[in-house]
Amino acid sequence: MASFELVPGCWVGGNCPCFIIAEIGQNHQGDINIAKNMIEVAKKCGANCVKFQKSDLNSRFNKAALDRPYTSHHSWGNTYGQHRAHLEFSESQFKELKKHAERHEIIFSASGMDMVSLRFLNQLGVPFFKIGSGDANNYSLIQDVARFGKPLIVSTGMQSIDTVQKVYYLLKQFNIKLGFLHCVSAYPAPPSDINLRVIQSYQEKFPDVVIGYSGHETGTDISIAAVALGAKILERHLTLDKTWKGSDHCASLDPEEFQQLVSQVRNVETALGSHIKIVRESEIACYRKSTG
């Protein structure tokens, strides 16, 4: 099974514990104090990493897209541009958040949605890059990210196996450390659409790639099953309040649920144990009773 050093001193894949990412995304409501609190909560819950999202709006969207009216009850402005601008942190704020994560001894990373943002994140010193599902078929962007030479994790929601294979062969030429996350891009994702066996399919097709799962379902049980099936990276959205404005909150875990998830993952990893069937020490007392 593939493994690599994702950040100095922290390996993923192989026999390593599952690497758990608390996806804060834009669940911070555009408030840096909420974002800092969420970093602290993620650490207390036992997550290995917090992840944000960074966009340069003028690079990612044209003027028509930014100026269009946005009347959703999740909107933070009259236009889509105003809405997105409310949820974007500045470069100085990102530097502040990274320092806050470092103070609380949790890994900080972010998904860059365009090359302006990705260049900034590279300068910021994120240890790895994450490509979201919406850009998993953006081959030119993926190639540009690969040229940074850092580990790359790609979510594969909304993509066919043909696209995933194309990304795999595209990235092979860069000889970078690579992870694929099975993902279903629905909020929340219905269990009937999740198809966790794709994890095993990925393991067979991409033996030199660390395979994981990015979950958008409600609850923790499906994510636990993903780990039991071999997911070595697990990403779940974190929220402080599921009733807050924003479409991601309903598919996120609150702090109690996230802490429960981490605890359950570690229990399952312990229980998976060995392939070897022997009489265990804990069975001896019962064995002696049964044999008189």
Q: Which comes out higher in pLDDT, residue 107 or 247?
A: 107
Is the model's pLDDT at 1 over the cut of 90? no
Pull the structure tokens for residue 51.
Answer: 């992840």
3-state SS of the chain?
CCEEEEECCEEEECCCCCEEEEEEECCCCCCHHHHHHHHHHHHHHCCCEEEEEECCHHHHCCHHHHHCECCCCCCCCCEHHHHHHHHCCCHHHHHHHHHHHHHCCCEEEEEECCHHHHHHHHHHCCCCEEECHHHCCCHHHHHHHHCCCCCEEEECCCCCHHHHHHHHHHHHCCCCCEEEEEECCCCCCCHHHHCCHHHHHHHHHCCCCEEEEEECCCCCHHHHHHHHCCCCEEEEEECCCCCCCCCCHHHCECHHHHHHHHHHHHHHHHHHCCCCCCCCHHHHHHHHHHCC
The pLDDT confidence band at residue 292, using thresholds 50, 70 and 90, is low
217-232 mean pLDDT? 98
**What is the pLDDT averaged over residues 238-256?**
95
């991409």: which residue's tokens? 206
Instruction: Look at residue 290 in the predicted model and tell me its pLDDT.
Output: 85
Of the pLDDT bands very low, low, confident and very high (cuts 50, 70, 90), residue 162 is: very high
Beta bridge partners of 19: 233
pLDDT value, residue 125: 97
182 close to 202: Cβ distance less than 8 angstroms: yes
pLDDT digits (tens, 9 = 90+) for 30-49: 999 999 999 999 999 999 99
> Tens of pLDDT along 50-103?
999 999 999 999 999 999 999 888 999 999 999 999 999 999 999 999 999 999
Report the chain's mean pLDDT, rounded to a whole number: 96
Task: Kindly tell me the burial class for residue 60, based on how many C-beta atoms sit within 10 Å of its own C-beta (0-12, 13-18, 19 or more).
Answer: middle
Q: pTM of the full predicted structure?
A: 0.96
Tokens linked to 72: 């959703």
